[in-house]
Structures are given as C-alpha cells and as structure tokens.
Amino acid sequence: MSFDFFTLKTYRANHPAWRLLCSDHAPLIVSFLHKSFIEPNERLMEESRLSEMLEDTLFQLREQLGEKAFPKTAKEYLNDWAATENAWLRKFYKTGSDEAQFDLMPATEKAISWLNQLASRQFVGTESRLLTLFNLLKDIRQGSELTPEKRIAELEKQKYEIEQEIAKVRAGELFLLDDTAVKERFLQFSQGAKELLSDFREVEHNFRQLDTKVRRQIALWEGSKGELLAEIMGERDAISDSDQGRSFRAFWDFLLSQQRQQEFSELLEHILSLPAIRSLHSDLQQHIHYDWLEAGEHTQRTVAQLSQQLRHFLDDKAWLENRRIMEIFRSIESKVFELSEDTIRGDAMNLNEAKIELALPMERPLYAPVQKMQLENTILELGAENLADAQALFQQSRVDKTQLIQHIRQSLRTESQISLQKIIENRPLEQGLAELVSYLQLDQQPYFKLVIDEEHQEKISWQSGNKIRNAVLPKIIFTK
C-alpha cells in the first residue's frame, strides 16, 4: 500500500473501515457489533433477533443520555449500517426465507480489531515474537534448501541438540519457562487465534467478489458459451491455485484431522490449567478450534451456495437464449402466413405446414411396459372386537424445552461449562427418555453451545416406575 497523500485521501473517503472510525455514532456501532458478532463468534444473525438486541442497547443508552440521543429505531439503524454508502453490515436473504439476515463485513472487523489494539496491554512481549520470527526464518531456509548435504547437516544439528537436551533431563536439569515467558507466549497465541477467526470473513468476502465479477461477465458476454465457461473455470482455478487458496486448503485439511484436533484439545486444556494462565483471566475459550471449524464450514457452505446460484444463473442465461430462438421461429411463421395466395401471384412455393418441428432423441421417453392389475375375489369376514385399552392414548406427555433451556442457563451462571450428567444430577429426569432426547436437541440456541466429546462417555440414570433406567452416550457439554 502506498502512503502518499492522495491515496490516503481516497481511503478516507471510500474505505468502510475509515468511514466507520469517522462516524459520529462509531462508539455505538463498534460496541454493539463487537458484542453481537465478535464476542460470541456469530457468523449470521436474523433481523428480528439483531434488532431486538439493538433496541435493548438503545433503551439503556437513552436512559443515560436522554431520549433524543438516538432518535431512530433499531431497524432503521441496521438498514443505515448495511447501506451501500456505509457497507458495515451485509444484509441478504437466504433461499426459501423471507426474513433478512445480517453478517459483519471484513472492513468492519478490521476497524474493531484496530480499536482493540488501542487498549493498554498487560505487557508487550518481545521475546516470544523474536523467537517466532527466528523460527520462521529457519523453517523457510530448511524448506527451501535444495542441497541434500546441507539439509542433512541441519537435521544432524537438530538431532544433536535434542540428544543433549534429553541427557540434561535425565540428569535432573529441567529447563522451565517462568511465568512471564508463559504469559507472553499465551497472549501471542490468543491474539493469533482471534485474528484467524476474522480471516474467514475476508476469505468469504473474496469469494463473493469473485461471484459478482463472474455474474457481470456472464451478463455482458457476447462470445460463445464454451469460451465463457472456459473463462469462468479459469477464474475459479486461479482462486484455488492462488497463495490464499492453497493456504486455506492446507489449513482446512490440518483442521479436519481427528488426530490434530485431539492433540490440540489436550494441549489447550493443559495450558489453560497452568496457574500463570489462570491469573490472566483470558477470554479465550477452550474450544477455540471448534470455532475455527464452524467458521470454516460456514465459508465452505457459502462457496457451495455461490456455485449453485451461479449454475442457476447460467441456466437462466440458456433459457433466455432458447427463448430468443423461439421468437425467431415465430417471426418466420408470421412471415410465411403473410405470403398467402391473396397477396402473392406468380411463382410461389406452397408450404403444407408453416411450422418447424423439433424432435430430439434424448427427449423421447423410455419404453415402460404396462402393468396389469391383478384382482382377487376375496370374501371379507367379520373380525373380532378390539379389546385393547385405549387409555394409553390419553396419557401422552409433552416435554417443555423452555424449562430445560432455563435450567441450563441457570447452571451456566456460576460455571463456564457444565456436562449433561451434572445437570441431570441437579435436576433428575421427570419424563424419562423423552426428556433426555429433548436435551440433545438443544444444539441451536443463542444462549449457549452444545459440544459433543466423542472421546469420553458418561452414564445417565433415571427412575421409571419401580426400575432404574440407564443410558450410556458420549459426553455432552454445554458452554457459554
């Protein structure tokens, strides 16, 4: 980026992040969007839910600043923030839904991230950053070395250093990081983990820009369809083969590895249990890699939806071309009828039928043999009277999921996470298996998240009449 006067002037006038920082309502916009999207790692929010949250925020601010502080309604503010001249939010409609959806734009997240860096930090770590830079240079040199002898020499050097360290450990000489070094490295990891989440929105935004470019290209294309498809596939391959595309694909493959996920969970659980890390009161969640996975899946779904919409767009283009062909056929027919015997005398050719019939082989249906219906002369006999007790039909029970949600939220007020087994111990199942299954259906809630730990199992028991029923299932954890 060039930092000359006119470039910065253009950025100040046109870049959404700079316009957000210059806005009179920047404190309201940044604080609300940070609380609504970034803190809970929300990718999409419905208009009704987001406007309700903004209405509560405006009500609280008006009580403190006066009724005239923010005169507009919540929906009006959301529409202003999503307008083209601001572009701080993206407003769109899902396929098959008539309710608007909102998502945070990458430029808005960059502005919020920059403001977050203005806050005073506990301390500025320099050692860990220097070591990270040093290790990156070593990785680049080792990964780009073409001479086998030099690479073997470097590996032998690493082997010697590892053997020396093993010898020191066996002799009782343990090198441990002090609390300052542990905090420094963890804060650097925490910052990188949050920045990685924001990168997904920028990757998704880049794919949307590619989709817009391709749609414009299709609408203005005047050549053949084969050349158009070759051009589109070339653009798609260019994105996939770019540095960003290859990096995202390598990251996604690494994240989908079950072994890597388990190793990452064990490392993070161990580090968060250290006294030096607990004293930081870090807001980094223990399942941050699951947030990465969720954000990555959302990006992949967005790319799939764009591909499907592009296919429909191409189909519509083909339909318009076919419609143009039919209009040409009808114009030919009308010209033939105008050349009737009353208007043309002399050498004229008579047409038996002024219509072009098209019969393509692939449009003909396959042969299907006719199935003959077999009729049987069966004499109906009078059946026995049904002596079953129908009282069980009137003894059906309904599980109130609202009460289950309230109980989970009350349990999470004092703890950051709680298992399903502990919840049922505090409040035993009253409706048996039906109530247990209802707990498992509470995975799409705005107040908490449901995480399944496949590596561990838990046993849940409940009273059913005079018997004790047991169920063994993977460990279910509810987190904030």
CA distance 471 to 150: 59
Tell me which DSSP letter residue 474 carries.
Answer: E
Give the percent of the chain with pLDDT over 90.
7
- The confidence score (pLDDT) of residue 52 equals 92
Contact 81, 29 (CB under 8 A): yes
Angle ∠(324,325,329) on CA atoms, nearest 5? 115
pLDDT one-digit tens code per residue, 213-260: 766 766 666 666 666 666 666 655 555 565 656 666 666 676 667 777
Q: What is the mean pLDDT of residues 32-58?
A: 88
d(CA 278, CA 270): 11
Segment 255-273 shows an average pLDDT of 75
- The pLDDT, as a whole number, for residue 150 is 83
3-state secondary structure 411-443: HCCCCCEEEHHHHHHHCCCCCCHHHHHHHHCCC
* Number of residues in the chain: 480
The architecture (CATH level 2) of 5-118 comes to Orthogonal Bundle (1.10)
Overall pTM surpassing 0.85 (yes/no): no
Q: Which of 360, 478, 474 is nearest to 409 (CA)?
A: 478
How far, in Å, are 27, 40, 90 from residue 55 at the CA level? 16, 19, 19
Of 111, 117, 108, nearest to 205 by C-alpha is 108
Does position 469 have pLDDT exceeding 80, yes or no?
A: yes
- Residue 198 in this model has a pLDDT that exceeds 70: no
Identity (one letter) of the amino acid at 299? T
Write down the pLDDT at residue 96. 75
Domain ranges across the chain: 5-118, 127-175, 179-338, 401-479
Q: Alpha-carbon distance 314 to 312, whole Å?
A: 5
12: pLDDT strictly greater than 70: yes
Give CA–CA dist 471/424, Å, rounded. Answer: 12
Query: What mean pLDDT do residues 404-411 have?
Result: 83
Using one digit for the tens of pLDDT, what is the confidence trace for 301-334?
A: 666 665 665 666 666 666 666 667 777 777 776 7
Q: Which residues contact 17 (CB under 8 A, 6 or more apart)?
A: 107, 108, 110, 111, 114
Instruction: Tell me the two tokens of residue 254.
Output: 């690494």
Beta carbons of 112 and 194 less than 8 angstroms apart: no
Predicted confidence band at 57 (pLDDT cuts at 50, 70, 90)? Answer: very high
Angstrom distance (rounded) from CA 448 to CA 417: 9
Q: Could you tell me which of 18, 90, 40 has the C-alpha nearest to residue 197? A: 40
Q: What angle do CA 422, 424, 427 make, to 5 degrees?
A: 115
- Residue with more model confidence, 201 or 449: 449
Q: Report pLDDT for 171.
A: 85
